[in-house]
């Protein structure tokens, strides 16, 4: 194995943003993305054409955060859909179980402000 | 659009640490921040003065860890994490248990003490940058 030296260019920053939960806009922190809210708890992040990244190469981190008005400090879950090279979907769910439930059931979508970081590998997959 | 060239220095590492669930200490991995537990499931990471970050510039990633002593070898609960970055110096991390797994059902979600990793990056480009129309 050739080993990974620290700081070797194996991951590159593709894009990042802070997305507002209420509107889906990204006006604070935005590396050049177009972001929008697609229904309750759903967000679409469009990458510039020259930064499209397919799902075999991208590595995405999402971090829920409080809303700009200080609200939103509640438990919430999310899932990322990265199947498309030009756009990535993030969907948030209420982290609370339904009243009286002791096991998870289908969750309710919930809006959330969040950080997004997309990296990509710069080496060729070996498998 | 100048775009983001791959590997261009658009994000800089500001701080990172691994925080212990019991009192919020950070002794294993710490780039130079102070950490403490404010309440059950609520941890504060305090940045050095020269590294303060406005919420419009920072990008924070938190990763929950299995916590020996209170969880089994494969973890025990679902957990959710929310970050409050509104303060320049103090970034607050909230953690909840979101599934009762392995214990008697109880209130859900419940704030819980857990080990976690924390990383704070910041943009090095001027914001706003190429904002959507």
Q: Is B85's Cβ below 8 Å from some Cβ in A?
A: yes
Least Cα separation, residue B108 to chain A (angstroms): 6
Radius of gyration over every alpha carbon of chain B, rounded to an integer in angstroms: 17
For A5, phi then psi, to 5°, come to -75, 145
Q: Which residue has the higher pLDDT, A104 or B79?
A: B79
In a domain? residue B129: no
Query: For residue A125, what pLDDT is reported?
Result: 60
**Beta carbon pairs, A and B, within 8 Å:** 129
Asked whether B108 and A2 are in contact (CB, 8 A), the reply is no
Cα A92 from Cα A76, distance rounded (Å): 7
Which residue do the tokens 């305090």 mark? B46
Quote the number of domains for chain B: 1
What is the per-residue burial (b if ≥16 Cβ within 10 Å, else e) of B13-42?
Answer: ebbbbbbbbeebbbeeebbebbbebeeebb
For B51, phi then psi, to 5°, come to -115, 15
Query: For residue B16, what pLDDT is reported?
Result: 96
Q: Kindly determine whether residue A76 and residue B82, on different chains, have CB atoms separated by under 8 Å.
A: yes
Mean pLDDT, contiguous 10-residue spans, chain A (127 residues)? 55 92 94 95 95 91 94 92 95 79 70 95 68
**Domain extent at residue B87:** 12-123
Spatial CA neighbour of B115 closest among B28, B48, B46? B28
Radius of gyration over every alpha carbon of chain A, rounded to an integer in angstroms: 17
Q: Is A94's Cβ below 8 Å from some Cβ in B?
A: no
In a domain? residue B41: yes
Q: Kindly determine whether residue B96 and residue A61, on different chains, have CB atoms separated by under 8 Å.
A: no
pLDDT tens digits, B20-70? 999 999 998 999 999 999 999 999 999 999 999 998 899 999 999 988 877
* pTM given for the model: 0.87
Q: Kindly determine whether residue A95 and residue B60, on different chains, have CB atoms separated by under 8 Å.
A: no
Residue extents of the structural domains in chain A? 14-97+106-120
């Amino acid at each position: 194995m050739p080993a990974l030296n620290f700081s070797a260019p194996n991951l590159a920053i593709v894009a990042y943003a802070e997305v507002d939960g209420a509107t889906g806009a990204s006006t604070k922190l935005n590396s050049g993305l177009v972001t929008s809210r697609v229904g309750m708890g759903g967000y679409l992040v469009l990458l510039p054409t020259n930064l499209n990244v397919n799902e075999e190469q991208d590595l995405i981190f999402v971090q829920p955060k409080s809303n700009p008005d200080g609200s939103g400090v509640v438990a919430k879950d999310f899932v990322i859909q990265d199947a498309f090279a030009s756009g990535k979907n993030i969907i948030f769910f209420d982290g609370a179980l339904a009243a009286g439930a002791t096991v998870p059931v289908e969750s309710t979508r919930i809006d959330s402000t969040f950080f997004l970081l997309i990296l990509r590998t710069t080496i060729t997959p070996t498998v | 659009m100048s775009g983001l060239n791959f590997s261009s220095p658009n994000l800089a590492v500001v701080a990172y640490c691994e925080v212990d669930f019991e009192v919020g200490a950070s002794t294993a991995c710490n780039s130079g921040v102070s950490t403490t537990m404010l309440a059950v499931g609520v941890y504060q990471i305090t940045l050095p003065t020269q590294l303060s970050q406005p919420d419009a510039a920072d990008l924070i990633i938190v990763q929950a860890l299995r916590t020996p002593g209170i969880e089994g070898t494969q973890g025990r609960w679902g957990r959710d994490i929310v970050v409050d970055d509104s303060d320049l110096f103090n970034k607050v991390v909230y953690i909840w248990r979101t599934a009762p797994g392995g214990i008697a059902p109880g209130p859900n979600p419940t704030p819980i003490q857990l080990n976690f990793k924390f990383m704070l990056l910041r943009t090095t480009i001027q914001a706003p940058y190429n904002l959507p129309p």
